[in-house]
Amino acid sequence: MASEAADARSGLTTNNLEAFWMPFTANRQFKQTPRLLVGAEGMYYRSADGREILDGTAGLWCVNAGHGRKHIADAIAAQVMELDYAPAFQMGHPKAFELAARLVTYMPAGIDHVFFTNSGSESVETGLKMALAYHKVKGDGGRFRLIGRERGYHGVNFGGISVGGIVTNRKHFGTLLTGVDHIRHTHDPARNAFSRGQPEHGAEFADDLDKVITLHDPSTIAAVIVEPVAGSTGVLVPPKGYLEKLRATCDKHGILLIFDEVITGFGRLGAPFAVDYFGVTPDIVLTAKGVTNGVVPMGAVFVKKEIYETFMNGPEHMIEFFHGYTYSGNPVSSAAGLATLDIYEEEGLLNRGAELADYWADALHSLKGLPHVIDIRNCGLVGAIELEPIAGQPTKRAFTAFLQAFEKGLLIRTTGDIIALSPPLIITKGQIDKLFDTLKDILQSLD
C-alpha cells in the first residue's frame, strides 16, 4: 500500500498506482515512493513534483534525438488523419515501402530488405524464425540449432530468452526452446578493467564458438546471435578482433550471424549502426527503439538479399514466409520512422556520438578511484560504471545510486550493480559535465 506521502508526491491515489503491474520494476518499492515522469523536452524529463531530470539513458536507450520532437509529432498526427491503419497482410500502404527503402541505405551493400515488427523482442523472434526457415527453404533443414551467448539480452519472448543469457530472465519459464546452446560472455575484468573502448584482451573468447559448434556438429547450426555491444547486462564491449572471429567461424560453416542492434542501432556508438562501427557485416540485423526515436513502437529486421531471395520461390500466389504482426509497418509507426530519419539526417545525429566520444570517455573515466568503483567501460555514447556489490545484498548499492540520482535530477539505469548510461545523441558537453558531476557526488558518499 502506498503511503499518503506517496500519494501526495505522485498527485494520484493509491488505487491508481496499484492496478498497473509494472514491467521489470520493483512494484512494491515503486508504489511506496513513486517516480512519475509527466513531461519531457530535449534532454530533460519533468517529474510529477515539477523537477527537471536530465535524461542519462535516452529513456530506455531509444530517444536518440531527444524528447518532444515536433517534426515526429506532426508526422504522426497527419498520418492518423490521412490513413490511420491499413491491413498489414496482403495489403500495403506507401510509407512502409518508403521507410524500408530509406532504411536499407544505411546498411552495408547486400543487406537490402527489411521486415517490420513492433519491438526489439519481436525483431529477435522474427530474426530467429527467418534463420531457421531460411535453411529449411534452402533444403538444409538439418540446421535447427541456435547459439546465443551468456549474459546476452534479446528481449523477453521465448526465443529471445532461450538464446539470451541472463539467468533471472530465464529461470522461471520452463524448458524454453530446445536446440539452443551458448558461448561464453566476454567480460574479463582481471585483464580488461577500466578499458577505454574495445578491450585489448579476449578475442579468443570467440574460439568458444568453434568448441560449441564442434560439439553439436556444424551442419546442425542455423545461426549465432549476439549483441555487438551487450547492453542490458551492463555494457560489455567486444574485445578487439572478437566479432571478426565470430564472422569467420560462421562463414566457414555456413552459419548465419545475427547482430542484435536494438541498442547499438541508430547512432548509439557514433556510427549509424554497429556494423559500421566494428566493420563486421552479419547476415541479419535486428533493430527497434531508435527507429522511431522511441515515440511509437516499431522494430525493423534487416536481411541480406540472398536470404530474402531464397524465400521468393514456389507459386507466386503463395505466402513465402508465414510470419508477421497486425502492426508490422503500420502507417503511424512508418510515418514516425520517416520523420525520425529526417531529424537524424538533418542534424547529423547518427554520427554525432563520434564527435563526443572522447569527451564522454574522459568524463566517464574520471570516476575511476571513487569508492566502490571496480570497472568503467565505454563505447560511443554508452558508458558503464561497475560497483562492488554490498556483501549479501547484490544490486542494492547500484539501486541506491539510481534512487539518489533521481532525487538529484538525473536519470540513470542500473542492472545488477552496474550503472549504465546512454544519453540522447543531442547531449551537450555542458550536460555531460552535469551528468558526471552529479554521479561523482553520489558515488563519493554512497554506502
If binding is defined by CB under 6 A, does position 227 make contact with ligand PLP? yes
Contact indicator for 192, 239 with CB cutoff of 8 Å: yes
Residue 423 in the binding site for ligand PLP (CB under 6 A): no
Q: Is 373 in the site for ligand PLP (CB under 6 A)?
A: no
Least distance to ligand PLP from the beta carbon of 222, Å? 19
Rounded to whole angstroms, how far apart are CA atoms 206 and 177? 23
Helix, strand or coil for residue 281? coil
Q: By CB under 6 A, tell whether 165 contacts ligand PLP.
A: no
Residue 288 in the binding site for ligand PLP (CB under 6 A): yes
**Do the Cβ atoms of 103 and 334 come closer than 8 Å?**
no
How far is 360 from 381, CA to CA, in rounded Å? 7
Q: How many residues bind ligand PLP (CB under 6 A)?
A: 14
Find out whether 251 and 282 touch, Cβ atoms under 8 Å: no
Closest distance to ligand PLP from the beta carbon of 433 (Å)? 27
- The packing angle between helices 331-346 and 349-365, to 10°, is 70
Instruction: State yes or no: residue 243 binds ligand PLP (CB under 6 A).
Output: no
Smallest distance, Å, CB 263 to ligand PLP?
A: 4
Of 124 and 379, the one with the shorter C-beta distance to ligand PLP is 124
- Closest residue to ligand PLP using C-beta atoms: 120
Binder of ligand PLP out of 186, 192, 232, 378 (CB under 6 A): 232
Cα–Cα distance, 57 to 64 (Å, whole number) = 9
Q: Is residue 386 a contact partner of residue 393, using CB atoms and an 8 Å limit?
A: no
Contacts of 423 (CB under 8 A, 6+ apart): 43, 55, 56, 57, 58, 381, 431, 432, 435
- Other C-beta atoms closer than 10 Å to the C-beta of 137 total 18
Stretch that binds ligand PLP, among 224-232, 392-400, 425-433, 438-446 (CB under 6 A): 224-232
Cβ-in-10-Å burial (0-12, 13-18, 19+) of 261 comes to: buried
Segment 289 to 348, residues that bind ligand PLP, using CB under 6 A: none
Judged by beta carbon, residue 232 or residue 310, the one nearer ligand PLP is: 232
Q: Which is closer to ligand PLP, CB of 260 or CB of 375?
A: 260
- Window of 114-122, 142-150, 309-317, 332-340 that interacts with ligand PLP by CB under 6 A: 114-122
State in angstroms the smallest separation of the CB of 23 from ligand PLP: 9
**Does position 413 bind ligand PLP by CB under 6 A?**
no
**Per-position x/- string for 244-263, each x denoting binding to ligand PLP as judged by CB under 6 A, each - no binding:** ----------------x-xx
Interaction of residue 280 with ligand PLP, rule CB under 6 A: no
Please choose, out of 104-112, 115-123, 241-249, 367-375, the segment that lies near ligand PLP by the rule CB under 6 A.
115-123
Nearest to 132 by CA among 192, 176, 180: 180
Under the binding rule (CB under 6 A), the answer on residue 265 touching ligand PLP is no
Q: Which is nearer to ligand PLP, 145 or 154 (CB)?
A: 154
Residue 121 makes contact with ligand PLP by CB under 6 A: yes
Burial 102-116 (b: 16+ CB within 10 A, else e): ebbebbbeebbbbbb
**Residue 95 binds ligand PLP (CB under 6 A):** no
Question: How far apart are CB 225 and ligand PLP at their closest, in Å?
Answer: 10
Interface positions, 139-158, toward ligand PLP (CB under 6 A):
153-155
Residue 23 class from Cβ within 10 Å (0-12 exposed, 13-18 middle, 19+ buried)? exposed
| Interatomic CA distance for residues 290 and 298, integer angstroms | 9
3-state SS, 95-119, equals HHHHHHHHHHCCCCCCEEEEEEECC
Q: 37-41 and 221-226: which strand pairing?
A: unpaired
Instruction: By CB under 6 A, name the binding residues for ligand PLP.
Output: 119-121, 124, 153-155, 227, 231-232, 260, 262-263, 288
